[in-house]
Structure 1
């Protein structure tokens, strides 16, 4: 099939490539991630440039990966001796397909899905889009196999037109983006190796992860010059168990985590105020007590953690905010218990001599210091628990470490312990102070300005790509002191999620996102808009690349 690729128009190349890639189910954590990496390597090796220079394609196995996933790299050189380099990158994994329900078997079949949606009465707008022929449906069609296809089509074009540019282009695709980002984290070493051995000058990295409308009627196409970060603040709550017949004698930890959920979940007052940027509130991703069978004892502990998008705040700032909120939750819970006990005593004609419901609030770092003063071997216990639970979900491992440490606490006082768990995604954006950053922004302004004057597409340039992406791991803004606040409050950082912050800071590549456009990523109605994504976008990226690598 791909022997005919170079004879097709750019639109048809990307249409064909996207369909082929969607046909491969590359769900995160499955062998499909290996299969699609092999397919992309096969596609690349069919290009004339790589037939002549097969050594310019290689793979990088992910360290200690149970299913043998790998990064795929390719490299092309323009005519000339320049070492200026542009990086094209994308992720190859997708979320699952259970959301497709009774048509799950069609999730990776764009043509059959198109026919289904043409007659689907569930949403008239989607039905009309399907009938227009301008949209492609399927898991990964938008997020982000069409983005991979755009890069592949541009690699083919630019390898055939090397007279138009000087310097180098590195193409890489990475697995494991949809949860742990271990693909791009491993790629940091490879990019550093290439820069050192080949004396490359990395100008910019271009990600084609999807963009979408930010509100109803929004027609703008967004270009992002940085990436939002992510932290996962976790709250371990230790209460005071009791028999349900004496419930007010206890301190139910689920009341506390429920209050934390009320104070944090989707609370717009907690977001950073950054003018002109999409500001997303924190959201709960996990909330449960730790009882695993029925009895009439109240819960001893309860766990909750939140997704927190970070624009400019450092981990240090997030720790401070989290502690303030935890203290407020503790006070609110205490007040609630006092009020209920007063009513309980009044209605039962009891004295109003109340139990105590105070709670102590600690960061993980503070709690470990408290235990050390008691003579507890904090490091030994943490290492032992990490080894015992290392096959479990890494967030659960963190909770197990905290729980084991709390059991060593001689005081036995109800408490809230705040810590971080994976993943951690650094945040960054073009500051514009360096000559390189200014050059990147000048080219974007120049090229996008020309495109706006000659097309009907309204573009908008923003700083932060608002969805989580691998771009986060190509640059780092947080200072060493700010990162220390993250590491010291992250149980067994070096074993559970050793993000190479020093190497990312050393790499320091401006990472921009110029993505395919569509709707409903991570939903069964996921679809990519072909006229923009398959025609406008690849030519826009070509123009930008040639301008950055111009002779």
Structure 2
């Protein structure tokens, strides 16, 4: 067998790490082809090459599925993972070391005194494997390959689909496109999907957290945003206009760390909102004040849907723009000048409808097409430029704050109460306690954000329509297969290896967890699922 022993697993994860696959690089494009060749070593796939399949994820990227199918089984487990990693700028000129775990480990030992005590202890212990992707999440892929090989060798009476995707770290294009491929796969091979097993690593809940967690859901992430469009003026006559930065300052103060969107479910609380990006859309320097400023906000959700978040957000924007107007008018009164106007707040959909009535669909399509075609802009920037261009045709609306959504959107998913998940939870608890004296903790909403957001969507929820009509790039460069997700309705668990410092210079995998404990735990879970009703 190729990936059976602990030594083989370490060699495999080091090989996967060496195939650097940073998001939006050539490495990300090439990785699934290298992985397909690796899986093709198994005689099972040499005899059934059609069971190894690439799925187009856009921009030359591909997902990869590998199917093990038992002739008498319909019950199927999907082993899901992502192969892209974040970038390595923190490594500086030594970025190549990020993909060479053994060499990196030796280098860290040489400079161990440069690290904080907790990191230094892990470096010197030889209990951790350092490198980009060791924890997040090349070890997860290796574990799924191990399971697949074991199922084939022992003819397990269950079907397994290994599914690994690109782009999880940015927009999750891989999983969003893979959802429809999963339906096709099920129809073609008569598969009954019973469970998704993601193997993202066990994330710490606070600095220095030593606990092991497994997850029965994943937190939602959504990005309500605003384009502030003021009235430009020369800096020598500041009150002849209204600076968009002045407008934005009122909302930024209220959004950052706001508890308006806070939720507590199963005793778990959503992290507070933060501003993810704030920028002036005026690209040049001049003595003209800025009349257009964009701001993106990160909001986490558990039970709130897109419509509920947007309703709260719009109310907050309206309140802060009222505060801004009042403050501005007080200043104008003090200085003896007349205000330039009354600040309006409109949703993107309301702006779209206004533009439609005034200029027609052809002009809107022309604007959208112009910015969608620009490769120098990402989806967030395209969204803001589309809204901004519409405003230039409706200047009678300014000063104006336009609320909208920008990608990505990760819906919250929680299947904690599904009978199969409750059974898996018992297996995890008993296995780790009995064999390793580990008392694991169940987290109902994975706090690391994951592709599991696209595995199941509330079949009764229609709030995604609010997201669709307020996302300028929807249907062009960004979509979410909400209806396919509603039809999928497959429960989900996340069981992965323990590690520390994801996305940092010192990202590391706990070797015993990766090579010994988690492989045995995942095998126990799969065998439980074979016999579960």
Secondary structure at the aligned position of 1:549 is classed as helix
Q: Distance in 2 between matches of 1:481 and 1:411?
A: 34
Counterpart Cα distance in 2 of 1:467 and 1:181: 14
Q: CA deviation at 1:545?
A: 0.7
1:194 aligns with 2:181: no
Using structure 1 for the length normalisation, give the TM-score: 0.91
Q: Does 1:35 align with 2:27?
A: no
Structure 1 residues 114 and 462, CA gap change in structure 2 (3 angstroms)? same
Check 1:385–1:531 CA distance in 2 against 1; reply closer, same or farther (3 A cut).
same
> 1:339 deviation in Å?
4.1
Alpha-carbon separation, structure 1, partners of 2:311 and 2:347: 9
Cα distance in 2 for partners of 1:158, 1:423 equals 36
Q: 2:72 aligned with 1:91, yes or no?
A: no
Structure 1 residue 157 and structure 2 residue 150: aligned?
yes
**1:393 equivalent in structure 2:** 378
SS in 2 for 1:115: helix
Deviates more, 1:298-307 or 1:177-186: 177-186
Which stretch of structure 1 is more off in the superposition, 192-201 or 448-457? Answer: 448-457
Partner of 1:408: 393
CA offset digits 1:85-121 (Å, max 9, x no partner)? 0000111111111111232231111111111222332
User: Could you tell me how far 1:354 is from its partner in structure 2?
Assistant: 4.0
Task: For residue 496 of structure 1, give the secondary structure of its aligned residue in structure 2.
Answer: coil
CA distance in 1, matches of 2:364, 2:271: 34
Once residues 509 and 195 of structure 1 are traced to their aligned partners in structure 2, the CA distance between those partners, rounded to angstroms, is 13
CA contact (8 A) 2:105 2:129 kept: yes
Structure 2 residue aligned with 1:348:
none
Contact 1:49–1:160 (Cα < 8 Å) also in 2:
no
Q: 1:139 aligns with which of 132, 147, 158?
A: 132
The equivalent position to 1:331 in structure 2, one of 322, 336, 349, is: 322
Give the corresponding residue for 2:365: 383
Residue 173 of structure 2: aligned partner: 182
| One of 427, 451, 454 as aligned partner of 2:412 | 427
**SS of the residue 2:295 aligns to:** strand
Which residue does 1:465 correspond to in 2? 446
What does the per-residue CA deviation read over 1:214-267, in whole Å, with 9 as the maximum and x for residues that have no partner?
Answer: 124433221111222221111011111111122123211112222222211233
Residues 10-29 of structure 1 aligned to structure 2 (within 5 Å):
11-29=6-24
CA distances 1:64-90 after superposition (whole Å, capped 9, x unpaired)? x33x22111111134x61200000011
Are 1:444 and 1:544, in contact at CA under 8 Å, matched by a contact in 2? Answer: no
Among candidates 113, 117, 123, match of residue 124 of structure 1: 117
Q: Which residue of 2 aligns with 1:349?
A: none
Deviation at 1:406, TM superposition (A): 1.2
Residue 295 (1) aligns with residue 286 (2) = yes
Give a deviation string over 1:407-460, Cα, whole Å, max 9, x none: 22252431101011211222211163xxxx212322322442343233221211
Which 10-residue stretch deviates more, 296-305 or 471-480?
471-480
Q: Secondary structure at the match of 1:494?
A: coil
Identify the range of structure 1 (357-366 vs 229-238) with the bigger mean alpha-carbon deviation: 357-366
- 1:479 deviates by 4.1
Distance 1:529 1:16, change over 3 A: same
TM-score (norm 2): 0.94
Tell me: CA distance 1:320–1:143, structure 2 relative to 1, closer, same or farther (3 Å): same
Q: CA RMSD in A?
A: 2.0
Q: Secondary structure at the match of 2:257?
A: coil
Q: Tell me what 2:53 maps to.
A: 58
Report deviation, 1:211. Answer: 2.0
Distance 1:317 1:157 in 2: 45
Q: Specify the SS of the correspondent of 2:265.
A: coil
Deviation at 1:176, TM superposition (A): 1.4
Kept in 2, the 8 Å contact 1:93–1:178? The answer is: yes
Mark the CA change 1:532 to 1:335 in structure 2 (over 3 Å): closer, same or farther. Answer: same
Query: Distance between the aligned counterparts of 2:362 and 2:491, measured in 1?
Result: 40
In the TM superposition, what is the alpha-carbon distance from 1:58 to its structure 2 partner? 2.1
Q: Aligned equivalents of 2:437 and 2:332: distance in 1?
A: 66
1:544 to 518, 522, 525: 525
Distance 1:39-1:492 versus aligned 2 partners, 3 A rule: closer
Given that 1:203 and 1:440 are in contact with CA atoms closer than 8 Å, whether structure 2 keeps it comes out as: no
Matches of 1:216 and 1:236 in 2, distance apart? 35
Q: Which segment drifts farther, 49-58 or 108-117?
A: 49-58
Q: How far apart are the structure 1 equivalents of 2:250 and 2:439?
A: 43
| Structure 1 residue ranges without an equivalent (≥5) | 346-351
Map of 1:359 onto structure 2? 343
Q: Name the structure 2 match of 1:70.
A: 62
Q: Is the 8 A contact 2:213 2:440 kept in 1?
A: yes
Could you say what secondary structure the match of 2:359 adopts? coil
Cα distance in 2 for partners of 1:89, 1:218 equals: 26
Q: Does 1:485 align with 2:466?
A: yes
Cα distance in 2 for residues equivalent to 1:243 and 1:34: 48
For residues 98 and 539 of structure 1, do their structure 2 counterparts lie closer, same or farther at Cα, with a shift above 3 Å needed? same
**Which piece of structure 1 moves more, 501-510 or 446-455?**
446-455
Kept in 2, the 8 Å contact 1:57–1:72? The answer is yes
- State the aligned residue count: 527
1:334 is displaced (CA, Å) by 2.3
Q: Distance in 2 between matches of 1:395 and 1:129?
A: 39
Task: Note if contact 1:364-1:418 (Cα within 8 Å) is conserved in structure 2.
Answer: yes
Asked if 1 retains the 8 angstrom alpha-carbon contact of 2:413 and 2:452, the reply is no
